[in-house]
Amino acid sequence: GESEEGLLSGHCAELEALVTRLESVTSKLEVTLSALQSFSLPALSNCQLELSRNSSPIAADTADVEITMNTTAGYRNIIQGPLTNYVQQSNLIGGLVAEHAKLVEDAFNVQFGYVEMASCRGDPGQSEQVNLLGPTSAKIMAIQEFREKNRSSTYFNHLSAISESIPALGWVTMKPAPAPYIKEMSDAGQFYTNRVLKDWKEKDKKHVEWVKAWLETLAELYKYVKETHTTGLVWGVSKGGAAPPPPPPPAGMPAPPPIGDLSLQADTNDRSALFAEINQGEGITRNLKKVTSEMQTHKNPGLRTGPAPFKPTTLTSSFKHNLPGAPKPVVTKPPVFTRDGKKWLVENQAGNHGLIIEGADMNNVVYMYGCQDSTLTVKGKVNSVFLDSCRKTSVLIDSLVSSIEFVNCQSVQMQVLGKVPTISIDKTDGCQMYLSKDSLDVEIVSSKSSEMNVLLPKANGEYTELPIAEQFKTVVSGKGLVTTPVESKG
């Protein structure tokens, strides 16, 4: 009849509207995929796959595409722009710098995939998020390990500049303001970028352009995160699907230890009986037993011995080994004391106060790493001395052409008998510097360090100790900022 024809017509109209909507979405996705095929980044099909997994086809409409494009477009511009320039500048320098840049490029591409995935789904649970961040974390570790394996390289400062600042990619875990974290990591690498500029600006301008390219990459990342992910990584919000179930426990996991039967009914009965006794009021004392002289401690000496002292249960060795909080054994690396061309390498020394370098040339560099409770004497005049990650370590120097540097050290001392032009201190707590009369015009540059003292010689052979400022006051003036040291009142 007419009613059946009208109903059929209504269904057809709804079906046509649905088909039109799906065609519109498909068309926009095809345009997006076509635009992405011009460069090697994760395709938007990953987003489509996530949408199909967590949503109905109708839910995956234009809004989903817009969310993805808005959150990924800025990151894509970073990869195509300043990051590509950084890789190109690294290739011009070549060698280890180029190899390092390839690892950095991989890390950014992996994070692009993570940001794109986030725009296509809801915020996961903590355990799942750890798994999702695994590839990015692995890339960051590879970048930092590359630096550690090439400490004797001429380009060590280049590698260090990247390794110190690449943790900026950890912004995806920061809330509620991830952008300042990127700035903090950029500042952490600035110590080494300044060294690259100092060492190469007069020799080879390629290294200056390399520094500019990397700093621009971090600056653009900061700008992108500040504008697009202001309070944290943006996750897809228009997806209606439920979160996927947690992964099953790994096979072979031992069953939990048996526990006693818990009876809710018994617990309820015990509480009821307790309240019934309390509600007796004064009548509750009728049930108390008389305390005889045999039960009184002051009349029965046998009660004074007390129970045996408690002895904790001894854990089996296998259980101790499997404790999640058990600390890992400290790996002791073999000590190194050798000459490698123009470099003297002194590494992993412990309790050795007889380390002496003799016969060094003026173009030689002394590198001391990971030493503890040791003393190094450098005889003659060398170019520079570098102490990295040393603790309770002292160095005695005749003269230096360039500088002595302390990085990531604790409780270190230096004494110069002749000339030292520059002393650099970075991320070091406790540094005593004994100067000679020839070194009173020294320049001391410090960053993120504390307990630094300069000891100046007096006529009687004693020293005057002067602390380096750690607190500063900054005010706004007509020309910018004015910073002055502040004397501690404590």
Question: Does 128 have pLDDT greater than 70?
Answer: yes
Q: How far apart, in whole angstroms, are the C-alpha atoms of residue 423 and residue 315? A: 52
Of 85-99, 302-316, 364-378, which gets the smallest average pLDDT? 302-316
Token pair for 482: 């004015």
| Pairing relationship of beta strands 336-340 and 343-347 according to DSSP bridges | antiparallel
The pLDDT value given to residue 472: 87
The chain-wide mean pLDDT, for the chain, equals: 78
Q: How far apart, in whole angstroms, are the C-alpha atoms of residue 474 and residue 487? A: 14
What domains are defined for the chain?
35-228 (1.25.40.330), 336-471 (2.160.20.70)
Q: How far apart, in whole angstroms, are the C-alpha atoms of residue 388 and residue 408? A: 6
Buried b (16+ CB within 10 A) or exposed e, 410-426: bbbbbbbeebbeebbbb
The pLDDT value given to residue 478: 83
| Torsional class of 346: left (φ above 0), alpha (ψ -120 to 50), beta (otherwise) | beta
Contacts of 79 (CB under 8 A, 6+ apart): 39, 41, 105, 108, 109, 112
The pLDDT value given to residue 313: 39
In the chain, % of residues over pLDDT 90: 49
- CA 216: distance to chain centroid? 21
Q: How far apart, in whole angstroms, are the C-alpha atoms of residue 451 and residue 453? A: 6
Higher per-residue confidence, 299 vs 368: 368
* Residue 95 three-state SS: helix
- CA 174: distance to chain centroid? 11
Average pLDDT over residues 114-137: 87
Higher per-residue confidence, 311 vs 334: 334
Residue that is written with structure tokens 């990295």 in the block: 388
Number of CB atoms found within 10 A of residue 12's CB? 10
Of 80-84, 317-321, 432-436, which gets the smallest average pLDDT? 317-321
pTM for this model (two decimals): 0.49
Average pLDDT over residues 413-427: 95
pLDDT digits (tens, 9 = 90+) for 34-57: 444 433 444 444 554 444 444 444
The pLDDT value given to residue 175: 85
Q: How confident is the model at residue 273 (pLDDT cuts 50, 70, 90)?
A: low
pLDDT digits (tens, 9 = 90+) for 315-362: 333 333 434 444 445 557 899 999 988 899 999 999 999 999 998 888
Question: Does 241 have pLDDT greater than 50?
Answer: no
Q: How confident is the model at residue 123 (pLDDT cuts 50, 70, 90)?
A: confident
Q: How confident is the model at residue 259 (pLDDT cuts 50, 70, 90)?
A: very low
Q: How far apart, in whole angstroms, are the C-alpha atoms of residue 218 and residue 108? A: 11
The pLDDT value given to residue 461: 84
Single out the residue of 130, 136, 121 nearest to residue 54, CA to CA: 121
Average pLDDT over residues 451-478: 91
Q: Is 369 exposed, middle or buried (0-12, 13-18, 19+ CB in 10 A)?
A: buried
Question: Does 63 have pLDDT greater than 80?
Answer: no
Tell me the chain's radius of gyration from C-alpha atoms: 34
The pLDDT value given to residue 277: 54
Question: Does 103 have pLDDT greater than 60?
Answer: yes
Question: Does 8 have pLDDT greater than 90?
Answer: no
DSSP of 415-472, one letter per residue? EESS---EEEEES-EEEEEE--GGGTT-EEEEES-EEEEEEEE-TTS-EEEEEPP--E
Check if the beta carbon of residue 337 is closer than 8 Å to that of residue 358. no
pLDDT digits (tens, 9 = 90+) for 394-416: 999 999 999 999 999 999 999 99
Question: E strands of 309-442, at which residues?
Answer: 336-340, 343-347, 355-357, 365-369, 375-388, 394-407, 410-416, 422-426, 429-434
Q: What is the dihedral of CA 405, 407, 410, 411, to 10 degrees?
A: 10
pLDDT digits (tens, 9 = 90+) for 179-202: 999 998 998 888 899 999 999 988
Higher per-residue confidence, 241 vs 150: 150
Out of 29-33, 123-127, 467-471, the most confident range is 467-471
Buried b (16+ CB within 10 A) or exposed e, 326-360: eeeeeeeeeeebeeeeebbbbbebeebeebebeeb
Q: Is residue 247 reached through a cis peptide bond, with omega within 30 degrees of 0 on the bond before it? A: no
Q: Is 223 exposed, middle or buried (0-12, 13-18, 19+ CB in 10 A)?
A: middle
